[in-house]
């Protein structure tokens, strides 16, 4: 029986460690395709166009929206971010799980369109540790860090919309938990209806 691909949405405060977890998860397991978003923010040192993001202008981003090329998009601290449609639809139709690392407004747009999406929220072990990680990453100015922490306060209100929280204290454990959550989701009866029906029919024919 062919497995159907699941959309997994991973959100969490900036600096909680989503990117780090996704990198480790996809290095360890071949099962997952990571969607690459489009964004209007500038690349950080070490980021490459087409690897972490597709870095586009405001005009290009607005064109993508108009052409229905994004399955969701949102504004985040002065910039646009969005998920290209084609990659996600292609992977799902091939039975491959797709992970979207996106913020909360986008997550809710996905949940509306794909009711069986699994929504994960990555949490830091404490707020002080979140600030330490943001500062330690060294990629944003103090002003932008303050804006991202304010955004974290706003996003914290919406955590109950998610199916699971993952606390990123020990990185290896967080990676395993994400993997286990996704693998468990595949075992839900609703995702195995065809198999259940086959066994029912076989039982009737015994
Ligand atoms: P996000 O993608 O959620 O914004 P990052 O993955 O960029 O966060 O992580 C933010 C910072 O925290 C990075 O410097 C990263 O190396 C560090 N970090 C991530 N996970 C852990 C962890 N489990 N323990 C300590 N530091 C971590
Ligand atoms: P960063 O600038 O730190 O890479 O990302 C900022 C925020 O934007 C993070 O919360 C990240 O998850 C979110 N984000 C990244 N890509 C997308 C996307 O395609 N759509 C939405 N809605 N949010 C995204």
Which atom of ligand 2 has the smallest separation from the CA of 38? 19
Tens digits of residue pLDDT in 23-46: 999 999 999 999 999 999 999 999
Q: Residue 4: is its pLDDT beyond 90?
A: no
3-state SS class at 69: coil
Q: Does domain 7-35+96-205 have CATH number 3.40.630.10?
A: no
d(C-alpha 77, C-alpha 81), whole Å: 10
3-state SS class at 169: coil
pLDDT at position 161:
96
Domain ranges across the chain: 7-35+96-205
Which atom of ligand 2 has the smallest separation from the CA of 13? 10
Sheet holding 32-34, edge to edge: 32-34, 97-101, 7-12, 118-123, 164-167
Strand 79-84 relative to strand 70-76, pairing: antiparallel
Check pocket membership of 19 for ligand 1, CB cut-off 6 A. Answer: yes
Instruction: Indicate which ligand has the atom closest to the C-alpha of 154.
Output: 2
Nearest alpha-carbon partner for 88 in 98, 79, 80, 101: 98
Check pocket membership of 103 for ligand 2, CB cut-off 6 A. Answer: yes
Indicate the top mutation candidate among 120, 121, 133 to test ligand 1's pocket, ranked by most ligand atoms within 8 A of CB: 133
Q: Residue 1: is its pLDDT beyond 70?
A: no
Q: Residue 182: is its pLDDT beyond 70?
A: yes
Kindly give the distance from the C-alpha atom of residue 17 to the centroid of ligand 1, in angstroms, as a whole number. Answer: 4
Q: What are phi and psi of 124, to 5 degrees?
A: -80, 160
Which atom of ligand 2 has the smallest separation from the CA of 74? 22
User: In whole angstroms, how far apart are CA 196 and each of 94, 181, 183, 193, 204?
Assistant: 21, 21, 18, 5, 13
The stretch 198-203 carries a mean pLDDT of 98
Tens digits of residue pLDDT in 149-164: 999 999 999 999 999 9
Residue 142's pLDDT band, with cuts at 50, 70 and 90, is very high
Tens digits of residue pLDDT in 83-113: 999 999 999 999 999 999 999 999 999 999 9
Let me know: does 123 contact 167? Beta carbons within 8 Å. yes
């Amino acid at each position: 029986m062919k497995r159907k691909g699941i959309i997994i949405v991973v959100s969490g405060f900036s600096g909680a460690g989503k990117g780090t977890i996704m990198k480790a998860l996809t290095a360890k397991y071949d099962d997952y395709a990571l969607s690459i978003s489009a964004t209007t923010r500038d690349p950080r040192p070490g980021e490459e166009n087409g690897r972490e993001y597709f870095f586009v202008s405001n005009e290009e981003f607005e064109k993508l929206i108009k052409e229905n090329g994004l399955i969701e998009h949102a504004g985040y601290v002065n910039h646009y971010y969005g998920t290209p449609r084609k990659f996600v639809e292609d992977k799902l139709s091939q039975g491959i799980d797709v992970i979207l690392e996106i913020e909360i407004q986008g997550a809710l747009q996905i949940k509306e369109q794909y009711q069986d999406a699994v929504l994960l929220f990555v949490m830091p072990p404490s707020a002080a540790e979140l600030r330490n990680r943001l500062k330690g990453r060294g990629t944003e100015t103090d002003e932008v860090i303050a804006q991202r922490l304010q955004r974290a306060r706003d996003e914290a209100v919406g955590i109950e919309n998610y199916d699971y929280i993952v606390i990123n204290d020990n990185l290896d454990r967080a990676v395993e938990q994400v993997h286990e959550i996704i693998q468990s989701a595949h075992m839900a009866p609703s995702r195995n209806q065809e198999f259940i029906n086959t066994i029912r029919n076989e039982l009737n024919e015994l």
